[in-house]
Structures are given as C-alpha cells and as structure tokens.
Structure 1
Amino acid sequence: MRLTKGISGFDAEHLIEQDMRMFQSMVYHLATSEKQVKVSEFIDQPHLVYMQAVVEIDREMLTILHHRFMPYIAFAMHDEELSFTFLSKAGLHKYFPMRKCLEAATLNTLLSKDQALHHLSATEWKYISYFNSQTIGDVMFNAWD
C-alpha cells in the first residue's frame, strides 16, 4: 500500500475530513444487524488522525478505527494506550460502504518495505523518525502530538 501525503495527519490541508456522524451510523448499522455486537462508546479527539468506536463483538472488546482524512477503516484489539494490534475482520466489510477496510497484514507491513513508493512530506518523515514508526499502521493510525 502506498501512503499519500497527509495520511499521517500532518500536511493534510488538501484532504477532506471524514464525517463522524456517518461513521457512527455505519457502526450502529453493524450493531443492529449482527448478533453479539454492542457499541460501548465513540471517541472523537480532534488532535488524533482517526475516530474510534469501541465495540464488543462475541464478548471481545474491539476498536474500530476510521481514518480522519481518508475513507479507511481498521479493526484492532481494544487498547486504551493507543497502541493497536490490528485485526482482519473480513465479514464486517459490508457495513462500511465506500470505505476500504484494511487488513492486518497491510497495516503490519514494514514502512521500509516499499519506502520509495510512499509520497509523504518531509514533516511526516521527520515525525516517523522521531516516533520510530515501523509499520504502515503506525503512520496511518498514530497518536503523535
């Protein structure tokens, strides 16, 4: 996967912010359509590059992440420390129309693997180096301050 300028949240002025209400609607649709799914809370912290929904699926707490500037969805083990263990949840893709649900293998790919393909700004590379981000997921769903 090629990372585009602004995906880290820095130098993202040219990107259109995604809608939290639409994300909430998709998550509630998931919860009302699937058995054993309960929505616990939504978290929208404007300084983060993603929005979150904390859900319980089959008695397991998960976090659904929606990138703030790109139509990307990711699933992760719920972690209040903002350090995500990404998961693949192929059966849930249908609840997020016009969004790309990213697989764990993609998000866990080392950033150095295809570094020449990424179109990130100098500022983004600076933060990647400073925070020692190693994977595509680290850059896309970061909590850099």
Structure 2
Amino acid sequence: MRLTKGITGFDAEHLIEQEMRSFQSMVYHLVTSEPRSKLLQFMDDPRAVYMQADIQLDNEQLTILHHRLMPYVAFAMSDKELTFRFLTKPNLHKYFPMRKCLEAEVLNSLLTRDKELHSLSDVEWHYAAYYKSETLGDVMFNYWD
C-alpha cells in the first residue's frame, strides 16, 4: 500500500476531513445489527489523525479506527498507552460502505518496505523517524502532537 502525502495529518491541506457523524452512524448500524454487541464509547481527539469507537462484540473489546483525512477504517485491540494491535475483521466490512477496511497484514507491514513508493513529505518522514514509527499502521493511525 502506498502512503500519500498528508496521511499523517501533516501537509494535509489538500485532503478533506471525514465526518464524525458519518462514522458514528456506521458504528451505530454495526452495534444494532450484530447480536451481543454494544457501543462503549466514541473518542474524537483533534490531536489524533483518527476517530475512534470502542465496542464490545461477542465478549471481545474491539477498537474501530476511522482515519480523519482518508476513507480508511481499521480494526484493532488497544492497550492503555494507545498502542494498537491491528486485526483483520472481514465480516465487519459491510458496515463501512465507501470506506477501505484495511487488513492487519497491510497495517503491520514495515514502513521501510517499498519506501520509494510512499509520497510522504519531508516533515512526515521526520515525524515518522522522531516517533520511531515502524509500520504503515503506526504512520496512518498516529497520535503525534
């Protein structure tokens, strides 16, 4: 997968911000359609490059991430330090129409693999190095400030 300029939230003037209401609507549809599921919370911290929903689904706490500037959705489990362990949940893709649901294999790919394909700006490369981002997921769903 090729990372485009602005995906980190820096140098993103050319990108259009995704709507939180639209994300909320998709998550509500998921939790009302899936048995044994419930919404735990939404988080929308403007310092993060993603919007987040935590849900309970079949005895599993799941984090759903929606990129703030791109129509990308990822599924993860998170710890208290906001470190994400990305998951592949193809059965949930149907709840996020017109969004690309990213697979764990892609998000866990090393940033240095196919580095020449990425079109990140110098500022973005600087922050990726500064925050020791190693994977595509680290760069795409960051909490850099």
Please, what TM-score do these two structures have when normalized by structure 2?
0.98
1:13-28 map, 5 Å: 13-28=13-28
Q: Flag structure 2 segments of 5+ consecutive residues without an equivalent.
A: none
Which residue pairs with 2:44 in the alignment? 44
**Please, which runs of 5 or more residues in structure 1 have no aligned partner?**
none
Structure 1 position 79, deviation (Å) = 2.3
Shift of 1:80: 3.0
- SS in structure 1 of the partner of residue 124 of structure 2: helix
CA–CA distance in 1 between the matches of 2:32 and 2:78? 21
Q: Which runs of 4+ in 1 moved over 6 A?
A: none
Deviation at residue 78 of structure 1 after TM alignment? 3.0
Q: CA deviation at 1:3?
A: 0.1
SS in 1 for 2:84: coil
Alpha-carbon RMSD across the aligned residues, in angstroms, is 0.6
Q: Which amino acid aligns with 1:93?
A: H
User: Which residue does 1:97 correspond to in 2?
Assistant: 97
* Superposition TM-score, scaled by structure 1 size: 0.98
What is the Cα deviation at residue 59 of structure 1? 1.0
Work out whether 1:5 is the aligned partner of 2:10.
Answer: no
Q: Deviations over 1:66-121 (max 9, x none)?
A: 00000000000132311100000000000000000000000000001110000000
- Residue 136 of structure 2 corresponds to 136
Q: CA deviation at 1:36?
A: 1.4
How many residues in Structure 1 have an aligned counterpart in Structure 2?
145
Identity among equivalent pairs (%): 68
CA distance in 2, matches of 1:80, 1:30: 24
**What is the SS of the residue equivalent to 2:144?**
coil
1:54 touches 1:78 (CA, 8 Å); kept in 2? no
Alignment partner, residue 118 of structure 2? 118
* Structure-2 separation of matches of 1:93 and 1:134: 26
